[in-house]
Chain A
């Protein structure tokens, strides 16, 4: 609009200027004619008329200039306003799809791989939406593939640990058969068969541990929970461990807070955790070390701790202590018979119960492994008298 106005103004101005030029010409001709005739008065009228005419044209030129300036300004303002409106419309039409994309990204990051955005709007946001959806589809496909591989791995471990059991039964069974006739064997032969049997038992533990890990990974480790008393559970495990700690001249003691509530657990699994922790404390500590099992109330949990004053675990190893097949330095020697899976299983089992497990250690002072288990919801009967300092 402003452009058309300016164009028309320029055309008209040219026209007016032409007319002014012609007017000068007319005046000049009149003056020349008057001078030639010797009567200057003749030109006076024409001079006045043309001057008036030029003045009028001049006025019109400046008027139009002003009008045009106003027109141009108005046009510019209108144009800018239009641009702003257009821009804000553009922003509005960008904002929705972008907000949708942000939401979808957050859902995707949160694990909802089925998230997709609606594709539409401007071509740029549509392209972005399409790219997002393709990415999400790829992620979903990758996750499905990973899940399939995980399942295969779990199945493989389960099957392998079954298949290994029959040959293990044979080896162990025949070695035991030999031991039934140990009187007829030389001491060297007896020792040889004992080594075979030791390793059979180790292999058996390894198979059981692998099976536990595979089951936990596959989500097939179901707990049979029942409200359980803490003190008798600890007593029982301590009793079975005492022969080993006594043989090493180690002190094994209990410190159980009186009046502990029942915990909501599968007792066999807690026994398994305690055996793992106590076996570690016993095997990694030197002769005459002290090992203690303590239990105390901690909010809605009961916290059980197995501590020792053994060599301790360096910080760099402590970080990885619950990982599979990670073993302390002593575990790399013949002396310790663990599988490297005990702590990983123990932590899985505690977490399966809804509890937490942690390890603390100071080199040269000892280690402490603590786990918390939820208190049973049912009202507790009168607690059994606490077992204190039973060394």
Chain B
């Protein structure tokens, strides 16, 4: 069973993501900010997929991913953004990501993408 690490500073979004992903058969880990992401990866090893909110307090999803990449972790990552056009603000420039997910989240499309990245 593929393991997905989801990070978002909103508890309801985390609950929603966990429910949808678990219903689709994934093992889900959750983090409330970028610091928890790096701690979890350090503790239990890299997951099969990272699903990170771009903007979070303490440490953003982008910053967490940048640290993981610097540590040599190549796990595919999707960045969740509140921006309709992610290019205009979150600028994940110079960090390797697999794609953007925009809010409101189209879960059918997201689950397809998650399946493709974890297969």
A: residues with CB less than 8 A from B are 161-163, 165-166, 168-170, 172-174, 176-177, 180, 200, 204, 207-208, 211, 215, 220
Contacts and interface: CB of A to CB of B under 8 A. Distances in A.
A162 B83 contact: yes
Contact of B16 (A177, A200, A220): A177
A211 B13 contact: no
Contacts of B84: 161, 207-208, 211
Interface stretch (B26-34, B38-46, B57-65, B100-108): B100-108
A166 B12 CA distance: 9
5 contacts: A165-B82, A166-B82, A166-B103, A169-B105, A176-B107
Contacts of B107: 173, 176
A200 B88 CA distance: 24
B98 interface: no
Contacts of A170: 10, 12-13, 16
A165 B16 contact: no
Contacts of A172: 104-105
Contact of A173 (B20, B82, B83, B88): B20
A220 B104 contact: no
B24 to A, nearest CB: 10
Given A162-B83, A170-B10, A211-B84, A177 B104 contact: no
A169 B20 contact: no
Instruction: Name the residue among B83, B103, B104 with the largest chain A CB count within 10 angstroms.
Output: B104
Given A173-B107, A180-B23, A211-B84, A166 B10 contact: yes
Contacts of A177: 16, 19-20
Instruction: Name the residue among B19, B20, B103, B107 with the largest chain A CB count within 10 angstroms.
Output: B103
Nearest to B9: A166
B23 A165 contact: no
Interface string B41-58: 000000000000000000
Contacts of A162: 82-83
Interface string B6-20: 000010110010011
B102 to A, nearest CB: 8
Nearest to B53: A166
Contacts of B10: 166, 170
A176 B23 CA distance: 13
A389 B55 CA distance: 50
